[in-house]
């Protein structure tokens, strides 16, 4: 009888321990829903919204720009081909920025899943790891988690890829001249110095090139001035245009200010601001 009682007690203890461990395991493995709101609906007034979405849809195939003889048509085809990729990336950035806002404005500390997501963002933007999330290091992400205007994307792509006809655009889907430093990672420039080891990165798709370019502007220390100016405009709830940010591209080319002026001219002459999406902060009245 005594043995039977001990056996029942042991079984009960094991069952309780198993139940607790199973609950902990379930909590640890719960994935972060990147699309659903993380906090209460009453925080929607703090969210950014896209008021004018680009009407252009991704093309099935990459156009052969060199075959388009009419210059005006070639330019418009170039813009209409690239702008959906830039708009898609910017929409993802706005979505993630809004999720960051929900975390910051919540009365609760970040959950385990939110901390994983925040850590992933810090890695993408090349920021140091943190042990504890504070208002300051959470707000730091705002500098990096924002849009690059479509007008700026299109102007630089046109300049760097010779309107989609350069060797790097044709053979490597590289429209922005991004470099890489591993042997075989890209195409070797024909004019590369003998002691240089860089290549022009090869991408699987033009979309990947656009996404990588925007990530570069959002993470590279060389473009801190661009991000600072963008943050100042966002703080005032003003529109962010390519012409607003173009001076932050001074380090992008060895040509310096001459390059910046060239990008400004491309934006103005081609009226590229017409491709910029309108993004604003929700107000409580909306």
Q: Which tokens in the block code for residue 33?
A: 């829903």
Torsion of CA 264, 270, 271, 277, to 10 degrees: -90
Domain presence at residue 184: no
Q: What is the spatial order of strands in the sheet that 179-180 belongs to?
A: 179-180, 199-201, 186-187
Domain presence at residue 196: no
> Can you tell me the distance from the alpha carbon of 179 to that of 200, in angstroms, rounded to the nearest whole number?
5
Domain presence at residue 20: no
Domain presence at residue 144: yes
Give pTM, 2 decimals. 0.79
Domain presence at residue 116: yes
pLDDT tens figures, 135-179: 999 999 999 999 999 999 999 999 999 999 999 999 999 999 998
Q: Tell me how many domains the chain contains.
A: 1
Domain presence at residue 276: yes
pLDDT tens figures, 87-107: 999 999 999 999 999 999 999
Looking at residue 186, its pLDDT comes to 74
Residue-number span of the structural domain to which 119 is assigned: 70-161+209-281
> Can you tell me the distance from the alpha carbon of 260 to that of 229, in angstroms, rounded to the nearest whole number?
16
Q: Where are the alpha helices (DSSP H) in the chain?
A: 2-29, 71-105, 112-124, 135-139, 150-161, 167-172, 206-219, 224-235, 242-245, 257-269
Domain presence at residue 181: no
Nearest CA-CA partner of 274 in 71, 45, 56, 26: 56
> Can you tell me the distance from the alpha carbon of 252 to that of 229, in angstroms, rounded to the nearest whole number?
16
Average pLDDT, the chain: 82
Classified as helix, coil or strand, 178 is coil
In contact, 228 and 235? CB cutoff 8 Å: no
Q: Which residue has the higher pLDDT, 51 or 214?
A: 214
Looking at residue 60, its pLDDT comes to 82
Looking at residue 277, its pLDDT comes to 84
* Measured CA angle at 275 (ends 224, 281), to 5 deg: 60
Please state at what angle helix 71-105 crosses helix 206-219, rounded to 10 degrees: 50
Q: How far is CA 221 from the centre of its chain?
A: 15
Domain presence at residue 267: yes
């Amino acid at each position: 009888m005594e043995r039977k009682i001990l056996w029942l007690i042991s079984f009960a203890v094991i069952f309780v321990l198993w139940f607790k461990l199973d609950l902990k395991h379930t909590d640890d493995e719960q994935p972060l829903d990147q699309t659903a709101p993380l906090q209460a609906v009453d925080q929607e007034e703090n969210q950014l919204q896209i008021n004018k979405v680009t009407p252009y849809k991704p093309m099935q195939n990459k156009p052969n720009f060199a075959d388009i003889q009419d210059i005006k048509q070639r330019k418009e085809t170039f813009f209409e081909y690239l702008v959906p990729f830039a708009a898609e990336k910017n929409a993802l950035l706005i979505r993630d920025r809004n999720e960051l806002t929900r975390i910051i404005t919540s009365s609760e500390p970040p959950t385990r899943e939110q901390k994983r997501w925040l850590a992933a963002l810090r890695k993408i933007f090349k920021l140091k790891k943190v042990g504890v999330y504070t208002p300051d290091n959470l707000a730091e992400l705002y500098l990096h988690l924002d849009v690059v205007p479509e007008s700026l994307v299109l102007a630089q792509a046109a300049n760097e890829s010779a309107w989609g006809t350069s060797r790097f655009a044709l053979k490597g889907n590289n429209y922005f001249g991004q470099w890489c430093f591993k042997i075989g990672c890209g195409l070797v420039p024909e004019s590369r110095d003998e002691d240089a080891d860089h290549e022009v990165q090869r991408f699987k798709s033009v979309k990947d090139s656009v996404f990588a370019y925007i990530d570069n502007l959002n993470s590279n220390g060389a473009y801190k001035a661009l991000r600072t100016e963008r943050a100042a405009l966002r703080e005032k709830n003003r529109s962010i245009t390519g012409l607003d940010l173009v001076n932050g591209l001074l380090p992008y080319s060895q040509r310096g200010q001459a390059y910046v002026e060239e990008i400004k001219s491309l934006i103005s002459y081609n009226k590229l601001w017409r491709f910029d999406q309108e993004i604003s902060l929700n107000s409580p009245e909306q």
